[in-house]
Structure 1
């Protein structure tokens, strides 16, 4: 299933990794490992933030995706299930509306 992963990077150790020229290499290693479908970097609540769309085959895959961010950046990770428009069409909303509406 597709998950939206939001990663909140605290200022430290990220600042130190930037100053020592290691931040880009660490991020590249993580991207090679998690292979996101999409990756964006932005600011959120005054912190650096990464937003990634990742494929998660099972719940057991979550640590392999999150641990690199935890261990290298002391980051906070949030996972949310996401659907494409096709997924939403296949969800049976009309039938759910009839049953629960």
Structure 2
């Protein structure tokens, strides 16, 4: 299922990761783990934020996906199912 993950990293924790050179590796590991179809990075609510759209094959992948964000970056996270336009058209057509 296509999911959108939004994570706002804790400023102090991510500053320390940036200073130590770990932030780039952390982001690369997250990208390798999720293999997103889209990834965006920027400031939001006063902190570093990433928004990823990726395929979650099974709900058992949720802990592996979120725990490093929660533990290593003390991030506030949201994970929600989303559709692209083609998915929406297909779903609306099924209503007939």
User: Normalized against structure 1, the TM-score is what?
Assistant: 0.85
- Which runs of no fewer than 5 residues in structure 2 stay unpaired? none
Mapped partners of 1:6, 1:32: distance in 2: 16
Of 25-34 and 10-19, more deviation after overlay is shown by 25-34
Aligned CA RMSD, in angstroms, stands at: 1.6
- Aligned twin of 2:33: 33
Q: Does 1:83 align with 2:65?
A: no
Structure-2 separation of matches of 1:8 and 1:40: 12
Taking the aligned partners of 2:25 and 2:94, their CA distance within structure 1 comes to 48
- Cα 1:94–1:32, aligned 2, differ >3 Å: closer, same or farther? closer
Instruction: Number of aligned residue pairs: give it.
Output: 96
* Cα separation, 1, equivalents of 2:12 and 2:70: 12
Find the residue that maps to 2:31 and give its secondary structure.
helix
Alignment of 1:43-82 (within 5 A): 43-82=43-82
User: How far apart in 2 are the matches of 1:71 and 1:34?
Assistant: 17
Counterpart of 2:4 in structure 1 is: 4
| Larger Rg, first or second structure (1 or 2) | 1
Measured after TM superposition, the shift of residue 62 of structure 1 is: 1.2
Residue 49 of structure 1 aligns to a residue whose secondary structure is: strand
TM-score, normalised to structure 2's length?
A: 0.88
1: CA distance between counterparts of 2:2 and 2:20?
34
Q: Secondary structure at the match of 2:86?
A: helix
